[in-house]
Chains A and B, each alone.
Chain A
Amino acid sequence: MMQRATVRVVRDARRVPWLDPMVLPAAGALAVVVGYPVVYTLLLSLQDYDLLGTVPERFIGAANYRKLLDDPTFWQALGNTAIYTFGSVAVAALLGLALALLTESVGGHRGRLARTLLLTPWAVPFVVVAFLFRYMYLQNGGAINAALLATGVIDAPISWLNVSSLALTAVMITNIWTMTPFFFLLLAAALAGIPNEVIESARVDRARGWSLVVQIKLPFLRNALLVSSLLMIIANFNDFAKIWAMTQGGPGYATTTLVIYVYRQAFENFAIGYASAIGVVWLLLLLAFAIAYLRALRTS
């Protein structure tokens, strides 16, 4: 009898309640802050909704989504978003990794100074960075053209942000400059966390230089690299300030990403319904990355 009662108590303790009252306040706040806008956006995406009220709003089903499929600017924006996000994150992660490995053995004052300097770009507000690079890229009076002309690399100034084939790369370089310190910081911390015994035993086995990095250190950095990359992919997917301040999505649509396109549709064309449809697609893509991120976090 006594044993049966004990079993029941243990089973009760293990049972996870379907809804814990303790999470209700947080769930309520999330429902208001996240749930309501998401549901409302979904509803708006099914309507012909003009913010100026020139036409009465009406339910149009999936018409906005069908329009998306036929909209070449949307597809260009989606492509630009992918190039901007994955390109920037990949290059910044590699640079951050390289810097973390290079500064790993630099100790004392020099090491601290090097790390501080390397982290500085992360501390500069993004909008300031965007304007800084915008002025550096200028065709007339820009520092980059001046340096390249002085060194004889180019013989005529280039309008970096205004040539369709160069603009996205130029904006990505700015983005990489700001993001690299983030990867450097995380990877340097992960490197410092590799147990000394592992490194020592690898050295005993005559692992040196490149083989030590590839065979020993990189596997230890895998999780940090994965988590930080996913985090940055999500952040870059939403990046508005840098692109808007530098090119406003131009020239043409060369640097128009999804977030810029949503902004133009919502607040220049006042087409809230169509902008919401783009927003829903954007949200679904972000959700996929967020799920991947959570899984990676759990695994790590």
Chain B
Amino acid sequence: MFHSRMSDRAMLVVSAVALALGVSVSSMATAETVTITFANWAAAEGTTKPAIDKVIADFEAAHPDIRIKSEAISFSEIARQLALRVRAGNPPDVAQLAGNDTFLIAATGKLEPLGGYLDVALKAELKPDATSGLSYQGKLIALPWTLAPAGLWYDKAILQKAGLDPEKPPRTVDELMTAMAAIRKSQPDVIALAVDTTNRPFSLQSNWPWMATFGADPLGATGRADSPQMKRYLAWMRELAQNRYIDPGRKIGEFRPLAAQDKVAFVWDQVLLQGVIQSASRMTDDDFYKRWGVTVQPAGPGGKSYSFEGGHQLVMFADSKQKKAAWMFMQYLAASPSAIRDYTLGPGASLPPLVRMPSPELAKKLDTPIYQAFTSRIIPTVTTPPYGPAFAAASSAIMAGVQQAVTGTESIDQIAGSMQQQLERR
């Protein structure tokens, strides 16, 4: 009995020691493993989720001491949620952002400036255009992940049917108007031009280059919404609607399936249009290049073409406790060959922000007429709107004015005046 009690006690001691050792070993292991929270919409969308999951898994395999906790948040919600999380003192380590949202979150003052992290080697790898528009109050606040400028896509078959030269897309707004008139006459069921005229910040971003080519700058330091240039732009938009060249109220994404069915002649859209058309129509690459082309925006009265950068960026939050690991992950997403192959050039359907591709295989993938047009001709025309909280606040007033011009009967002078008044009230 005594012996048995002793052995029980010994067993208890041994178990306790083993447990203590186990706990300390496991806590040592935990201490060595760093977890990075990554808020992104790539994991929230069906087309990109498998790709981003694979990229994360590959990164974790290459960096066994770093775990990535991916937090899926939809594209339209991410800025709001991050703003609230910053307020609550609970931001992620890294987040995917785009367009004005990047600058909205930068305005909170809670983004880590990245200038100090960007070493000479990576700086040399990145396209100069890619980082030029990503500074806020003089500090680099985001790392370019993908580039996705907008270009004027054109359906060569529709152009040919309208008696136009399919290899000579319009170079000016006047030529575009002539081409659309011919298309409308020969193919009344075809939407001549797909532009996003919804009321959301993205629409203002998308319409900004069109305003710019008319010389309008409704939010600039000296620009006004009731300037003659802005009125000219609004009058042009009204003309587009009155001639039924555009289909107002559709989001740009809603034109893409129609483009795949040859129902849209010109589409003001990003690189991803190719993927959408090909996946919907099962077109081969060669057939696609025969059917579709992309070029710079037709120049307006100012004589210059513009584009907007719709690519995605990566930001790091200043409250992150794991900045080194977070930066490693960000670099991996933006510049590693596997991330570029599996995500950026895959379902991400955009361009890597690099000067040179890290492998010949990737360089070959980018050697297409579409990618070349974007890289060599469209990217240099990118203009960055005055992003920030004022841009978000003004977007509703400006796009409401654009919608009134497109669909209403009020005079352009009245609409422009009302827009300016609203902007001044803010």
B407 interface residue per 8 A CB criterion:
yes
Within 8 A of A (CB), among B78-135: 80, 83-84, 86-87, 104, 107-109
| B389/A54 in contact, CB under 8 A | yes
| A250/B83 in contact, CB under 8 A | no
A268 interface residue per 8 A CB criterion:
yes
Q: Could you list some 24 contacts between A and B, CB below 8 A?
A: A51-B84, A51-B87, A52-B104, A53-B86, A53-B109, A138-B250, A139-B248, A140-B191, A140-B247, A140-B258, A156-B244, A162-B249, A162-B403, A162-B407, A164-B404, A249-B199, A250-B399, A251-B403, A251-B406, A268-B201, A268-B392, A270-B83, A270-B104, A270-B393
A223 interface residue per 8 A CB criterion:
no
Cα(A139)–Cα(B263), bound, Å: 13
Contact of A71 among B87, B409, B425 (CB under 8 A): B425
If over half of A's interface residues share one DSSP class (helix, strand or loop), that class is named, otherwise mixed; here it is loop
Contact of A163 among B107, B199, B399, B407 (CB under 8 A): B407
Tally chain B residues at the interface, Cβ within 8 Å. Answer: 40
Within 8 A of A (CB), among B401-426: 401, 403-404, 406-409, 422, 425-426
Query: Which 9 residue pairs across A and B have the least CB separation, nearest first?
Result: A251-B403, A252-B404, A162-B249, A162-B248, A269-B393, A251-B407, A164-B408, A162-B407, A250-B199
- By beta carbon, the residue of chain B nearest A139 is B247
B400 interface residue per 8 A CB criterion:
yes
A177 interface residue per 8 A CB criterion:
no
A247 interface residue per 8 A CB criterion:
yes
Chain A residues packing against B (C-beta within 8 Å): 50-54, 70-71, 73, 138-141, 156, 159, 161-165, 247-253, 264, 267-271
Which residues of B are found within 8 Å of A138, using beta-carbon distances? 247, 250
| A250/B389 in contact, CB under 8 A | no
Chain B residues packing against A (C-beta within 8 Å): 80, 83-84, 86-87, 104, 107-109, 189, 191, 197-201, 244, 247-250, 258, 263, 389, 392-393, 395-396, 399-401, 403-404, 406-409, 422, 425-426
Which residues of B are found within 8 Å of A54, using beta-carbon distances? 107-108, 389
Which residues of B are found within 8 Å of A141, using beta-carbon distances? 258
- By beta carbon, the residue of chain B nearest A134 is B249
| B407/A159 in contact, CB under 8 A | yes
Total inter-chain residue pairs, C-beta < 8 Å: 94
Which residues of A are found within 8 Å of B200, using beta-carbon distances? 248
| A269/B408 in contact, CB under 8 A | no
If over half of B's interface residues share one DSSP class (helix, strand or loop), that class is named, otherwise mixed; here it is helix
Least Cβ–Cβ distance between A131 and chain B, in angstroms: 11
Least Cβ–Cβ distance between B277 and chain A, in angstroms: 17
| B389/A52 in contact, CB under 8 A | yes
Kindly list 4 other residue pairs between chains A and B, CB separation below 8 angstroms, not including A164-B404, A252-B400: A71-B425, A156-B244, A162-B249, A250-B403
With A71-B425, A268-B201, A270-B392 as contacts: A52 and B248 at CB distance below 8 Å: no
Contact of A162 among B87, B107, B392, B406 (CB under 8 A): B406
| B247/A159 in contact, CB under 8 A | yes
Which residues of B are found within 8 Å of A73, using beta-carbon distances? 422
| B408/A268 in contact, CB under 8 A | no
Which residues of B are found within 8 Å of A162, using beta-carbon distances? 197, 248-249, 403, 406-407
| B87/A159 in contact, CB under 8 A | no
| B249/A270 in contact, CB under 8 A | no
Contact of A271 among B197, B249, B393 (CB under 8 A): B393
Residue with the greatest number of chain A CB neighbours at <10 A, chosen from B247, B249, B389, B393: B249
Which residues of B are found within 8 Å of A253, using beta-carbon distances? 400
With A52-B107, A53-B87 as contacts: A251 and B249 at CB distance below 8 Å: yes
Cα(A249)–Cα(B400), bound, Å: 9
